[in-house]
Amino acid sequence: MDTAFAHLIDGELVPGSRHFDVVNPATGAPFARCPDATRDDVERAMAAAARAFSAGWARDEAARRRTLAHMSEALAARADEIGRLVCLEQGKPLAQAVGEVKNAAHVLRIYADEPIPRDVLRDDEKARVTLVRKPLGVVAAITPWNFPVATLVMKLGPALLTGNTVVAKPSPFTPLSSLALGAALRDALPTGVLNVLGGSDEVGAWLTAHPAVRKISFTGSVPTGKKIMRAAAEDLKRVTLELGGNDPAIVLPDVDPAKVAPRLFWGAFANSGQVCVAIKRLYVHEDVYRPVLGALAELAKQVKLGSGLEPDTQLGPINNAPQFARVQELVDDARRQGGTVVAGGAPLAQPGYFYPPTIVTDVGEGVRLVDEEQFGTALPVIPYRDVDDALAQANRTHYGLGGSVWSSDVSRGEAIAERLECGTAWVNQHMSLNAKTPFGGMKWSGLGRENGKWGLEEFCELQVVNTAKI
């Protein structure tokens, strides 16, 4: 059992006084022990982050840009090692896990050069009015288990560039890659600017309640997002919430089923469906319903499910036991409600949390698999006749993260996409994200945006400097 992991607190690697097991989802067995932060660890991390903020980090933009560039290099240099940890603790295929870390290093590099806006709103003989972005202070960065490194770095880049300091807490299901990232970046950063704590949900709650924290940047589920907003209200902490989704995809009758089916399949099942912006409900026009459904079922049957360490694996396991149970529960419930399973539908009879890609028909609104976020390898496919009706079903939800429209008429696709109530509406693709394009949810899928200049603003207060020229 690997016990080499440590918190990063005040520039020191701290082994921790208590631990919990981290399970490899491909075997269902623990393979490492993670330090579990105590209240004292949290206090020391917060004090270190507050000290680093006051010590000049917030005032030296050029130094911060250099630091981000060094962080990028340090992370890239450890991409294979940290990627292997992502594979072991998260389950995804090794190449994708390493790719996640390499891309995270690239994102840090992008932030090293991202401009921090400074707007002159007025400048004449009487006055000059300048709009300045100021950092908030200590940021609590709390992340989920599906893309542990990517979701953390999406917060670190803009938070650090704008002069904040960070205390990060990854999911207890995938903490090791974030701790390894902390260790890898230690020498690239001034002491205390970044602190990383392993810990349970309770540790997350301690962070959100801590008086040193001025901003909570959270990615995770809707119920936790609501708890965090409540915790933040007491102290008027700023929050950015990137929460769950139940993304609809609407397929118009003019598509070529053979062409769109593989894209739809991977839009739903990449990372074993554990993507906030995966296709989670598929509405297909009745003219092309049968061929699209047939092609999806065929792909589901062909795909190679297995341990992320095996070179030919395309889909890994579900990340953890509760989520594995949830996917089974939703498919079993759909069956009881009259649903037909056309591919998959039962866990593999082997150790680990393997649930094959599962396609379910004869279900609609009122069935949990359609109404709730499944976050796993099960997709309801629903026929429609009238696109207005499909849009109404797609929008009749508290969620509003992503959505897509599929058509060979791009203009028509775009016009329909704009009627989707979601933060990103794609046409003929799904899940495509970019560090320069704002990302976030409408309705219960979140508050605020990450990425690009919009994401940067979330880590700043606006200050007006209003000068009378006397």
DSSP state of 2: B
Does residue 204 interact with ligand NAD by CB under 6 A?
A: yes
The interface mask with ligand NAD, positions 428-447, x = CB under 6 A, is -------------x----x-
Has 329 been annotated as catalytic? no
Cβ–Cβ under 8 Å, residues 421 and 323: no
**Residue 57 vs 375, nearer CB to ligand NAD:** 375
What are the structure tokens assigned to 300, written together? Answer: 């589901």
The two three-digit tokens of residue 418, written as one number: 């704009």
- Give CA–CA dist 203/144, Å, rounded: 14
Residue bearing tokens 């690697």: 13
Between 104 and 255, name the residue whose CB sits nearer to ligand NAD.
104
Residue 427: Cβ within 10 Å count: 19
- Let me know if 276 is a catalytic residue: yes
Phi and psi for 368 in degrees, rounded to 5? -60, -40
**What length does the chain have?**
470
Closer to ligand NAD at the Cβ: 52 or 239?
A: 239
Using rule CB under 6 A, residue 145 touches ligand NAD: yes
Query: Which of 38, 130 has the CB closer to ligand NAD?
Result: 38
Single out the residue of 135, 157, 220, 347 in contact with ligand NAD (rule: CB under 6 A): 220
Residue 424 interacting with ligand NAD (CB under 6 A): no
What tokens does 176 get? 């090791």
- Interface residue with ligand NAD among 64, 84, 169, 449 (CB under 6 A) is 169
95-134 residues in contact with ligand NAD (CB under 6 A) are: none
Query: ∠ at Cα 395 (151, 458), nearest 5°?
Result: 35
SS3 339: coil
Residue 224 found at the interface with ligand NAD (CB under 6 A): yes
**Minimal distance in Å, beta carbon 371 to ligand NAD?**
14
Any alpha helices (H) in 238-307, and if so which ranges? Answer: 257-269, 286-302
**DSSP β-bridge partners for residue 248:** 281
Binders of ligand NAD among 237-276, rule CB under 6 A? 242-245, 276
Q: How far is the CB of 46 from ligand NAD (least distance, A)?
A: 14
167 counts as binding ligand NAD under rule CB under 6 A = no
The region of 197-205, 327-335, 337-345, 454-462 touching ligand NAD under the rule CB under 6 A is 197-205
Q: Is the dihedral of CA 353, 356, 357, 362 positive or negative?
A: negative
Q: Which residue has the tokens 């007025």?
A: 122
Q: What is the DSSP letter of 318?
A: -
Which residues are part of the catalytic machinery?
A: 242, 276
Chain residues in the site for ligand NAD (CB under 6 A): 142-146, 151, 169-172, 201, 204-205, 208, 219-221, 224, 227-228, 242-245, 276, 373, 375, 401, 441, 446
